[in-house]
Amino acid sequence: MKLDAKFDGNRDAVLDLVRQHLVTELELKPEQITEGARFKEDFDADSLDLYELVMELEDRYEITVSEQEAGQISTVGDAVDFVMAKAST
């Protein structure tokens, strides 16, 4: 699934993309999705949900995420930080 959001080097743009993805895939309300929210504990996301998010981030921002790196992403903020670090290189 491709979302209509473009990366402009802006943290808020990345957060918006992650938020859109989670609203669509996990049927969450946007206000539930804060940077401190934990994927597994707060959203009951399973490994497939996280895999789909990682794939969306890789496709959208043309980055590569290893299994080890993906395993370190536990919060919405972690995902945004990861994209910001990878996309800027």
Distance CA 38, CA 33 (A): 9
Quickly state the pLDDT bin for 8 (edges 50, 70, 90): low
Within a domain: 30? yes
Supply the range of the domain harboring residue 27. 11-87
pLDDT digits (tens, 9 = 90+) for 27-81: 999 999 999 999 999 999 999 999 999 999 999 989 999 999 999 999 999 999 9
64 lies in a domain?
yes
pLDDT band at 1 (very low <50, low <70, confident <90, very high): very low
By CB neighbour count within 10 A (0-12 exposed, 13-18 middle, 19+ buried), where does 7 fall?
middle
pLDDT for 88: 76
Can you give the pLDDT at residue 4?
42
Q: How many domains are there within the chain? A: 1
Active site residues: 46
